[in-house]
Structure 1
Amino acid sequence: MGSEVQPNQWVGFKLPSGTVKVIQVIPHTTISLGKYGSFPSNLVIHRPFHLTYEIQTKREGENFSRLRVVSAEELRADIMDDVKTDQAAVGDNGVVPDEGTPVDAEGELMSLDAVNKAVGEAVAKVATDSAVRQTLTLADIEELKREGANAGKGVIAKLLASHTALDEKTAYSLEKYKLLKTKKYIRRFEVLPLDTPMFTDWLLEEKDGSRILELRQEMVALLGCWANVHCAVDEPEVLGPERTGFPAKLNAPELTGGRWLVVDDTGGFLVAAMAERMGILHPTKQAETPNATKAARSGETETTKAEVKGADGEDTTMTDVAGSGAKPEQGDNATGEQPNGADSTTIGEGAKPKSENPRPRHYDRDDLDIPYAGTNTLTLIHANSQPNLSFLKYFDFDFASPNPPFAAHPLYSHLTWLNWLQLLHPESDSIYTTEPPEVSAEDLQAWKGNRRGVHHRKRRRWARTRFIVDSARAGGFSGLVAASTLDPVSLLRHTLPLLAPGAPIAIYAQNVEVLTQLADVFSVARRAAWASDPPKEAEGLGRDELERWEGSEDFPINPTLVLGPMVQTSRVRQWQVLPGRTHPLMTGRGGSEGYVFTAWRAFPAEGKVEARGRHKRKKTGAASETATPRATA
């Protein structure tokens, strides 16, 4: 994932309100955080993640806001102040004083009518005095916000100083008031690397959750756990070249374990979540530039350096100037001034980047070389001519690239896709069946560059398509994960034969009805009915034929192919945790509940196993000899 922000990378900005904004950090642009302010994007490029920044007031003569790194000591001091306040509220003996007990002036318990009357009077008093409790007007607050007022701290201090009833608030009420104003006016944010849990919350809260079928974090975790999705690199070989059936001319890798089948109708979000569990979602290294490739091939190491003219006329050597916001030596501000505070850093505009996105060099290779891995892979089945993987752009993956740089992102070599037509009827797909003709090297040299490039692209596309389709139809997958609007019964009818024995199955659906129908297909009653009276259409069929049997009205799928069907759901409830006041929050996000069907792929034994009649346990010989004989008349 990397430890610092890269140019054109999607990152998360955690705001004081607790929400997260996912923004692409494009060099030489302005990042806007709404009411909290804006700043140049160059100020966070090549800066470490998990730092807390403070948006400062614009200086005289500058049209942008600088950033100040909030030190850990400053953040810790704020936390310790809150802890001291909580301890004071709890008391010396560690017991929270019961401030809400309804008693009268004499210390006697109040009746229900007296309590209701007192509450009504208190509400009426607050309603009449609310206008005078805060002496600052809305115009005064807006003026303080325009002036900056020390990154929002001045506004909070003025609000607290201008409140005429702070002494009437309890310790909890005062802390809630301070926290509310801090979240509203403090101009701080934290830069976080983008991962799938953060992306899930952002889609559900800020965007349209229906695009990912309203998948919550706990449902994504259930899918990954029950499907046993993990990084599988050193798995034993389960498929050999004799079963895959690849053309001999293809330079295809051996298919080994750790291959998962995915049916995704969430725009690539499910693929991203599963890839993160497998360790192939985030780039491990940057794309190689032509200079770096040339140096690596010649055995040399080359460091790109840029000579930058200093303000005093001297030459200063800066290493790795790949974007604005390169790491400074001291201070890193445009004017060279010292930062405010010994533990803080003020960030200026930084240096201009030399090269934003160097175009990777494509290696010269044989058109029939397969660039895909044979293990730790995901195979996506989709229903269109091209898959919908739009959400993978947030993780720096361009699925529409005609000639992808396979060394730049792991998904280029670990993610493959095919449509249902290619899986079920590959002979009807023109790309799969039509092999571009081979052309000699002499004829290729005589062609123009455009024609030669089209020929190579067609050959490589045919080779990739042939490998993907043949490897998918060969089966042997380690598991199935699905989040789709398709009928799950029809989906399993065509994907079950592709799973290895014992492979887990995890299918998500927004409604429980479709999954209960699927669980009923593999119920104990149907398996018993299949064993006692199998359908006439399935009589005389072999094991391989029964696996791909199209089903009947009573048996949509062979019920002996799946064991342990179960439907479940999960929802994490948020809690408010305060000393003596811990309770679950009663409100939450609506939408569909979401359910998961889980099961395991079974491998029926050949032949018929029968156990009929009532059998009694026979006594051993020693037991029969020592037994007392029954008396006879």
Structure 2
Amino acid sequence: MDSLVQPHGWIALKLPSGGLRVLQVTPNTTISLGKYGSFPSNLIIHRPYHLTYELQDKQPDENFNRLRIVPASELYSDILSPDTSTNSTEGETPITNDEEDVENPLSTGIEYSLVDPESGAVVARTDRAELDASARQTLSTEQIEALKKDGTDAGRDIIAKLMLSHTAIDQKTEYSLAKYKLLKTKKYIRRFCVLPMDVPMLANWQLEKDATKILDIREEMIALLGCWANVHFGEVDQCEDAETQVPEQEHLRTPGRWLVVDDTAGLLVAAMAERMGILYSPDKEEPISTHRRESLDRLETSIDVVDPTAKLSDEDDDVKMTTEVQQQDAPDSESTQADRRAPNSDSKPRRNHSQPPFAQSNTLTLIHANQQPNLAFLRDYGFDINNPTHSPNHPLATHLMTISWLQLIQPELDNTYSSALPNVSSEVLRSWKANRRGTYYRKRRRWVKTRHIVDTTRKGEFSGLVVASTMDPISIMRYAVPLLAGGASIAIYSQSIEPLTALVDCYSIARRAAWVANPPEEAVGKTPEELEQWSGNDEFPLNPSLVLGASLQTSRVRKWQVLPGRTHPLMTSRGGPEGYVFTAWRVKPAEGKVEARGKARTRKRKVEETTKE
């Protein structure tokens, strides 16, 4: 993942209140933080992540807020400064200057002031006589709102005046005083931290926004699925090429192919792709094509705009695609053939429509129930499954394949798979119009892509199965287990425990023993290949000999408050479903009768001991 904030990338802004604001960084725009203010987006582009910024006041001749990077010494001054006690943060602690009246805290001679720890200057000062003893906080709501509108010194003035106007500040313990100042700082300080949009950050943000969209799956459950399914970088990518073809046997031996059933809008796919190293694009910035650069140059010479790329992004892509189709469909003239034979570093070789552009290792195959898969969260990482041509350099464009349940179970009923397009000669293609040729090429590419995905998926030999779905896990395992290789890992997530409990019972030791001792009549006389495809009955919904080590578990990470002298677990946490994970391993049943051989020495010793007695 990039270490710098990239244009048009997704980030998460952590606010002082603890909330997150997820947004896409668009150049030459304004980012609004609600009550905290706004700032130009260009101020954080190409800057490192995990920096804390502070919104400064507007200058007299400027109409925007500048940003100041808050150093670590200022953020952690309470911890790093040996002279600062636990009840002082950033020099905003009220201190008593009159030592004669310490015993009488309500005396009018006591004076409170705020001192800057770096310069030693007094920031603010007040006298107890000026405060109303009948009120805890003398500042009214109108006065606080007026201070917020002024917004001086990034909110620090409001915090200082609130502390000085509190009549019972001397009655607080050092812990309650620190907690009071922390609450006011979170409420009024104008700071934020820029964080990368990784999978844990996206999951936590979605849990607060709409947890049902991701099936209430927590960060620790996503980690369990990835660990138990052994999701990792499989092998060096081996993409198919027009000149190089890998035999089918070699294709089945390549590791790193995982089967996924995802109903979390792409969050599970993103988590697996992150572990496999194919979630983030390796290019820092997408190169601008020659046609796009010429269009921008013409626009800059004709009109004066601030951000020409934002206005030309959609139109220029359409013009570029139309130009490529026209160049591809136009008849080959002598000049065109000469230009094609001439070496050009900027031009790319023409793609062979008979070879799908998919990798053969380190891939993800998604099984979905709809006409199009729901992978909305992948857009946050620069990939759109509905329009992959907009991000051709993204790793998921060649490592993510989607297939529907209809194509997997009965592919002959799918129109895209069954309706084969005939091969048309080049002479006939030249006689067609450009629109007809473009339609033919588009349908041809879609048919070749669908045939490749369906055929390779039905051949099986996947390295693992990961499921997070509302479907019945028994129905998923009936068709997914035969596609797994021997020793493949299985990890299934469910919001409730009942479906997974029924699945564990299907692969229990008792059912497996009953299967071996008295197999059902429908399974008698069938080959191992036929038993793997067996649909099951009421007594045996699944073949219990195909899976071993079925278990059920759950985990919840509890948050702790970690402060000096006040470390304890939080008493309250987010509710919702607990979530459970089913784990198992795919095995190949042994053919023939299995017998145990050896000498029964233990039994012989017991007989001898009984005889001696």
Q: Structure 2 length normalisation: TM-score?
A: 0.79
Superposition deviation, residue 235 in structure 1 = 9.8
Superposition deviation, residue 47 in structure 1 = 2.5
SS in 2 for 1:365: coil
Choose which of 369, 372, 376 in structure 2 pairs with 1:383.
369
Contact 1:8 1:24 in 2 (8 A): yes
C-alpha separation in 2, matches of 1:382 and 1:4: 35
Choose which of 271, 274, 282 in structure 2 pairs with 1:273.
271
C-alpha separation in 2, matches of 1:370 and 1:83: 67
Superposition deviation, residue 254 in structure 1 = 7.2
Unaligned runs of 5+ in 2: 90-131, 240-244, 325-347
Q: What are the Cα deviations for residues 572-593 of structure 1, in whole angstroms up to 9, with x where unaligned? A: 1111223343322121111111
Correspondence for 1:39: 39
Superposition deviation, residue 148 in structure 1 = 1.2
User: Aligned letter for 2:585?
Assistant: W
Correspondence for 2:214: 212
Correspondence for 1:344: none
SS in 1 for 2:487: coil
Answering whether residue 27 of structure 2 is matched by residue 27 of structure 1, we say yes
User: Aligned letter for 1:182?
Assistant: T
Choose which of 506, 515, 533 in structure 2 pairs with 1:530.
515
User: Aligned letter for 1:288?
Assistant: P
SS in 2 for 1:151: helix
C-alpha separation in 2, matches of 1:463 and 1:130: 82
Q: What are the Cα deviations for residues 264-291 of structure 1, in whole angstroms up to 9, with x where unaligned? A: 1111111111111111111111433324
SS in 1 for 2:444: helix
Map 1:71-90 → 2, pairs under 5 A = 71-77=71-77, 79-81=79-81, 84-86=84-86
Correspondence for 2:255: 257
Q: What are the Cα deviations for residues 452-493 of structure 1, in whole angstroms up to 9, with x where unaligned? A: 221111111111111100110010000000000111011100
SS in 2 for 1:179: helix
C-alpha separation in 1, matches of 2:568 and 2:179: 16
Correspondence for 1:440: 425
Map 1:441-460 → 2, pairs under 5 A = 441-460=426-445
User: Aligned letter for 2:144?
Assistant: I
C-alpha separation in 1, matches of 2:600 and 2:83: 71
Answering whether residue 553 of structure 2 is matched by residue 554 of structure 1, we say no
Change (3 A) 1:80 1:136: farther
Contact 2:238 2:359 in 1 (8 A): no
State which drifts further: 453-462 or 222-231. 453-462
Map 1:63-212 → 2, pairs under 5 A = 63-77=63-77, 79-81=79-81, 84-86=84-86, 132-205=135-208, 207-212=209-214
C-alpha separation in 2, matches of 1:242 and 1:42: 50
SS in 2 for 1:495: helix
SS in 1 for 2:365: strand
Contact 1:240 1:254 in 2 (8 A): no
Contact 1:10 1:25 in 2 (8 A): yes
Change (3 A) 1:289 1:42: same
Correspondence for 1:398: 384
Q: What are the Cα deviations for residues 15-56 of structure 1, in whole angstroms up to 9, with x where unaligned? A: 112222111122333211122111222322232222221112
Change (3 A) 1:525 1:254: closer
SS in 2 for 1:267: coil
Map 1:354-503 → 2, pairs under 5 A = 355=309, 359=317, 363=348, 364-401=350-387, 403-406=389-392, 408-503=393-488
User: Aligned letter for 1:36?
Assistant: Y
Correspondence for 2:334: none
Superposition deviation, residue 255 in structure 1 = 6.3
Superposition deviation, residue 613 in structure 1 = 13
User: Aligned letter for 1:258?
Assistant: G
C-alpha separation in 2, matches of 1:397 and 1:130: 62
Unaligned runs of 5+ in 1: 90-128, 245-252, 295-303, 309-350
State which drifts further: 596-605 or 227-236. 227-236
Tell which has more relative contact order, 1 or 2 (C-alpha 8 A, sep 6+). 1
Correspondence for 1:112: none
Choose which of 541, 544, 565 in structure 1 pairs with 2:529.
544
Choose which of 559, 570, 573 in structure 2 pairs with 1:585.
570
Contact 2:87 2:178 in 1 (8 A): no
User: Aligned letter for 2:263?
Assistant: D
C-alpha separation in 2, matches of 1:590 and 1:421: 37
User: Aligned letter for 2:194?
Assistant: V
User: Aligned letter for 1:256?
Assistant: T
Superposition deviation, residue 87 in structure 1 = 9.0
Superposition deviation, residue 545 in structure 1 = 0.7
Contact 2:464 2:484 in 1 (8 A): yes
User: Aligned letter for 1:216?
Assistant: R
Correspondence for 1:101: none
C-alpha separation in 1, matches of 2:88 and 2:397: 57
Answering whether residue 293 of structure 2 is matched by residue 290 of structure 1, we say no
Change (3 A) 1:480 1:219: same
Superposition deviation, residue 167 in structure 1 = 1.9
Superposition deviation, residue 60 in structure 1 = 2.3
Correspondence for 1:13: 13
Superposition deviation, residue 442 in structure 1 = 2.9
C-alpha separation in 1, matches of 2:226 and 2:2: 24
Superposition deviation, residue 7 in structure 1 = 2.1
State which drifts further: 515-524 or 442-451. 442-451
User: Aligned letter for 1:174?
Assistant: L
C-alpha separation in 1, matches of 2:156 and 2:591: 76
Change (3 A) 1:240 1:555: farther
Superposition deviation, residue 73 in structure 1 = 3.9
C-alpha separation in 2, matches of 1:62 and 1:368: 59
User: Aligned letter for 1:196?
Assistant: V
C-alpha separation in 1, matches of 2:154 and 2:561: 29
C-alpha separation in 2, matches of 1:523 and 1:211: 32
SS in 2 for 1:379: strand
C-alpha separation in 2, matches of 1:170 and 1:618: 74
Map 1:205-244 → 2, pairs under 5 A = 205=208, 207-234=209-236, 241-242=247-248
Q: What are the Cα deviations for residues 374-396 of structure 1, in whole angstroms up to 9, with x where unaligned? A: 11110000001111111111111
State which drifts further: 35-44 or 357-366. 357-366
C-alpha separation in 2, matches of 1:402 and 1:72: 42
**Between structures 1 and 2, the one with greater helix share:** 2
C-alpha separation in 1, matches of 2:529 and 2:306: 64
Q: C-alpha root-mean-square deviation of aligned residues, in Å?
A: 3.4
C-alpha separation in 2, matches of 1:611 and 1:77: 70
Superposition deviation, residue 521 in structure 1 = 0.3
State which drifts further: 65-74 or 214-223. 65-74
C-alpha separation in 2, matches of 1:134 and 1:48: 41
Change (3 A) 1:80 1:618: closer
